[in-house]
Amino acid sequence: MQTSGQIAATSKTAYVGVRGILLPVDFNESNRKAARQARVLASRFKASVTLLHVREGSELLRSSSQGVHGALSLTRNRLRVFGADELCGVKVKQLVLSGYPATTIAEFADRQHCDLIVMPTHGYGPVRRFLLGSVTAEVLERARCPVWTIASSRWESNGSAVKQVLCGVTFAPAAANVIRWAALFANAFGATLSVLSVLPSAPPQDVPEWFVPEWNEGALPGLESRVRGLVQELDVHADILVDKGDPATIHLDVARTQNADLLVIGRTTRKSREDIGGNTYAIVRHAPCPVLNV
């Protein structure tokens, strides 16, 4: 791997920060881990948190015996208690909506101009560790704003351990925005920022035939130069890393080696094959730290 000297991250690029955080809650234990990280983020950015519980049709049917209004009142009380316990010191709103969870979460975040959605990736257990929850997966597909996913509980409750932010990019149009978000979080926590770009071992199928001969070790210096140029253009100071191989494997390995406290990547949707590409879910599932999916 090629690397340059590491320095603290700073940026003068003007862009919107984090003012409103959406925290979907279904009262699983993993929600408490998400809430603790949402509290750290809200405190750091002086942001508000909206607790959202989405009631599916099946849930409404199960509550028919006690009455829908009674069940709604009970859910609101649970949200109130959850917010008081897990988000102490943070401005919190509670809301209960009915609908299909992933769609409702993504549409609410868009409608209310939320800056960030915070969600756990999956449940617990030896099998669940290798699964990405269906709601989280669909929110990653649908949401317009960044999504903070949580697969690890290594974060300290006050965020004081956030010392290293790793940002993974290619040269999709969204790369600049991914770096801006990474710099925003690095600056907020006084952390060091590294920007990583990985040259796949084999060229994607849509790469022009004339470019394929360039797909070799000699391309790494050129890749590093392009990454450095983009980072300098954005006026962001960061360590530059380039490597060749399987993107998901390398991103995860570097995150572990650097003891990264946050991994920032551009996410892929069905409509847009950008940045880390089809490796998004593999990275999110197995990341040793939270992942900010931009």
Specify whether the CB–CB gap between 72 and 110 falls below 8 A.
no
**pLDDT confidence band for 272 (50 / 70 / 90):** very low
pTM: 0.84
Q: Could you tell me the domains of the chain?
A: 2-13+156-293 (3.40.50.620), 20-150 (3.40.50.620)
- Pick the most confident of 29-38, 106-115, 126-135, 137-146: 106-115
The 10s digit of each residue's pLDDT in 38-62 is: 999 999 999 999 999 998 865 544 5
For residue 58, the model assigns a pLDDT of 54
**Is a pLDDT exceeding 70 seen at residue 206?**
no
**Length of the chain, in residues:** 294
The percent of residues in the chain predicted with pLDDT above 70, rounded, is 73
**Is a pLDDT exceeding 90 seen at residue 9?**
no
* Separation between Cα atoms, residue 174 and residue 277, nearest integer Å: 12
Specify whether the CB–CB gap between 187 and 11 falls below 8 A.
yes
For residue 203, the model assigns a pLDDT of 59
For residue 4, the model assigns a pLDDT of 46
- Pure H helices in 143-267: 175-189, 219-233, 247-257
The single residue listed with the structure tokens 């946050």 is: 262
The 10s digit of each residue's pLDDT in 232-257 is: 999 999 999 999 888 999 999 999 99
**pLDDT confidence band for 178 (50 / 70 / 90):** very high
